[in-house]
Amino acid sequence: METIIKNSTLNIQKIRQDFPILSQKVNGKPLVYLDNGATAQKPKQVIDAISNYYQKQNANIHRGVHQLSIETTVAYENARITVQKHLNAAFPQEIIFTSGTTESLNLLANSFGKKYIKTGDEIIISEMEHHSNILPWQILCEEKGAILKVIPINEKGELLMDEYTKLLSNKTKIVAVTHISNTLGTINPVKEIIELAHKKNIPVLIDGAQALPHIKVDLQALDADFYCFGAHKIFGPTGVGILYGKEKWLNEMPPYKVGGGTIKTVTFEKTEYADLPLKFEAGTPNIEGGIGLAAAIDYVNEIGLENIGAYECELLEYATAKLSAIEGLRIIGTAKEKASVISFVIEDIHPLDIGTILDKQGIAVRTGHHCTQPLMQHFGIPGTIRASLVFYNTKEEIDLLANGIQKAIKMLK
């Protein structure tokens, strides 16, 4: 701990040394990486865990009798327990490994939908969802003749909770909303969303893709029925993610993808499926991904999510003030409860042009609709420029961003 934290203030320069990519130059300029909402960089602790796995441990898991297979199975199952403890889930079997947030949402919509959704039922999502939390429900509604209901937002990018309450009815079968908006940074009142749904015995899925890197999530305190996220946004590897589900739901839900690993017995007439979590984990999983995810969680916990939260709050305030001072710049997403994500547009300039000029200065931001086209339609814009900040970013980088934007505006106007 002492090596990373100085008097409970983060030693950012020390932390940055853990991320080899951050000392690179891009386009001849020191990399300023502000695209963490798309994917975060990996500390050497995660890279080493994966490298070590391939150098010393590689074997397939669960059914091997040989030593390497046994050791790898233990490491993989320990990774599941690391995730369980990090999220304060009640049981390890409630943690299902998937290939990422998108896969988790497809698994849930397919499996839950198959069992519980019928014609005329309603599914509630919100206007700020990522396409990955819209499309699986949209397809389900088309297939089953169900209806997709959408919680509207206000101009700050906050959910209209009164409208949400009105949407909840005895036709509602599930509510699926994001914890933190990837485009706006809004932190949604998920505890209240869950409590209101539970009053009517409606289960709730929370898409935590953008929450896990920034805030502490306690699933038992939240009482979420389902929660999902991907490892790559929380400083872990790509291609691995989690679907959490309360045991009582997962036990009742049918398997989604099937094959090796998901069964107890198979005959040509009938298959008996395995208990949780294996019922939902078909085929050889992303073993190094699970191990890498556990290393990422350990890393984040070593720094401490409270320290991370306090520092990112400072960064957000600093960046908001700096960017707001630029003439013609408008921030999209000004919710009271906000994570360190700033989306903005600049009068009469396309976001892509700004992004391209920033890239020439070594500054990586994301431009476009951020997989939230309905949100862009709400604000009547083609896209935004998004700077998403994490604990390894600095105020100096925000200054570079602000100067870079000014330069781009001069060139384009």
Q: Which residues are catalytic?
A: 371
Of the pair 230, 237, the CB lying nearest ligand PLP is at 230
C-beta of 413: minimal distance to ligand PLP in Å? Answer: 31
Q: What is the β-pairing status of strands 226-230 and 204-207?
A: parallel
Residue 357 or 385 having the CB closest to ligand PLP: 385
> Which residue in the set 126, 210, 343, 384 belongs to the binding site for ligand PLP (CB under 6 A)?
210
Part of the chain binding ligand PLP (CB under 6 A), chosen from 8-16, 168-176, 203-211, 388-396: 203-211
- The least CB distance from residue 274 to ligand PLP, in Å, is 25
- For helices 351-360 and 395-412, what crossing angle results, to 10°? 120
Count of residues making up the chain: 413
Q: At what angle do helices 287-303 and 305-324 cross, to 10 degrees?
A: 80
Q: Find the distance separating the first CA and the last CA of the chain, reported in whole Å.
A: 49
Applying CB under 6 A, does 351 fall inside the site for ligand PLP?
no
Q: For tokens 């509630």, what's the residue?
A: 124
For residue 193, give the nearest of 183, 207, 214, 213 by alpha carbon. 207
State how far the Cα of 246 lies from the Cα of 235, in Å rounded to an integer: 26
Decide: is 100 part of the binding site for ligand PLP (CB under 6 A): yes
Nearest-angstrom CA–CA distance, 382 and 198? 37
The residue (of 133 and 393) whose beta carbon lies closer to ligand PLP is 133
As measured in angstroms, the least distance from the Cβ of 130 to ligand PLP is: 4
Instruction: Report CA 70 to chain centroid distance, whole Å.
Output: 31
Q: Which two structure tokens, joined as six digits, stand for 68?
A: 């390497």
State which residue, 243 or 345, has the beta carbon closest to ligand PLP.
243
Residue in 230, 237, 255, 261 binding ligand PLP, rule: CB under 6 A: 230
Q: With respect to ligand PLP, which residue has the nearer C-beta, 132 or 172?
A: 132
Cα–Cα dist 257/245, whole Å: 16
Rounded to whole angstroms, the Cα distance separating 349 from 312 reads 29
> Rule CB under 6 A: is residue 130 a binding residue for ligand PLP?
yes
Q: How far is the CB of 280 from ligand PLP (least distance, A)?
A: 17
Q: Site for ligand PLP (CB under 6 A): which residue of 41, 82, 102, 361?
A: 102
Cβ atoms within 10 Å of 397's Cβ, excluding its own: 21
Choices 96-104, 256-264, 357-365, 373-381 (CB under 6 A): range interacting with ligand PLP: 96-104
Residue 41 makes contact with ligand PLP by CB under 6 A:
no
| Interaction between residue 101 and ligand PLP (CB under 6 A) | yes
According to CB under 6 A, which residues from 274 to 313 bind ligand PLP? none
Q: Which residue in the set 122, 207, 225, 397 belongs to the binding site for ligand PLP (CB under 6 A)? A: 207
What tokens appear for 67 in the block?
A: 């030593």
* Residue span binding ligand PLP (CB under 6 A) among the ranges 204-212, 309-317, 337-345, 359-367: 204-212
Query: Looking at 51-59, 66-74, 95-103, 333-341, which segment touches ligand PLP (CB under 6 A)?
Result: 95-103
Structure tokens at 335: 């919710």
Q: Are 120 and 146 in contact (CB under 8 A)?
A: yes
Amino acid at 110: N
Which stretch of DSSP H or E encloses residue 126? Answer: strand 122-126
Please say which residue, 72 or 178, places its beta carbon nearer to ligand PLP.
178
The CA R_g of the chain, rounded to the nearest whole Å, is 22
| CA atoms of 306 and 391, how far apart (whole Å) | 11
How many residues of this chain bind ligand PLP (CB under 6 A)?
Answer: 12
Tell me the window of 22-30, 41-49, 127-135, 306-314 that interacts with ligand PLP (CB under 6 A). 127-135
Taking contact as CB under 6 A, which single stretch among the options 71-79, 128-136, 148-156, 393-401 is the one that binds ligand PLP? 128-136
Q: In the bound complex, what is the minimum distance in angstroms from residue 111's beta carbon to ligand PLP?
A: 17
Does 367 interact with ligand PLP (rule: CB under 6 A)? no
| Closer residue to ligand PLP (CB): 101 or 361 | 101
How would you class 302 by CB atoms within 10 Å of its CB: exposed for 0-12, middle for 13-18, buried for 19 or more? middle
Range list of H helices, 180-235: 190-198, 219-222
One of 36, 111, 126, 178 touching ligand PLP (CB under 6 A): 178
Give CA–CA dist 49/296, Å, rounded. Answer: 9
Question: Which residue is associated with the tokens 């994966």?
Answer: 50
Residue 35 in contact with ligand PLP, rule: CB under 6 A: no
Binding footprint of ligand PLP on the chain (CB under 6 A): 100-102, 130, 132-133, 178, 182, 207, 209-210, 230
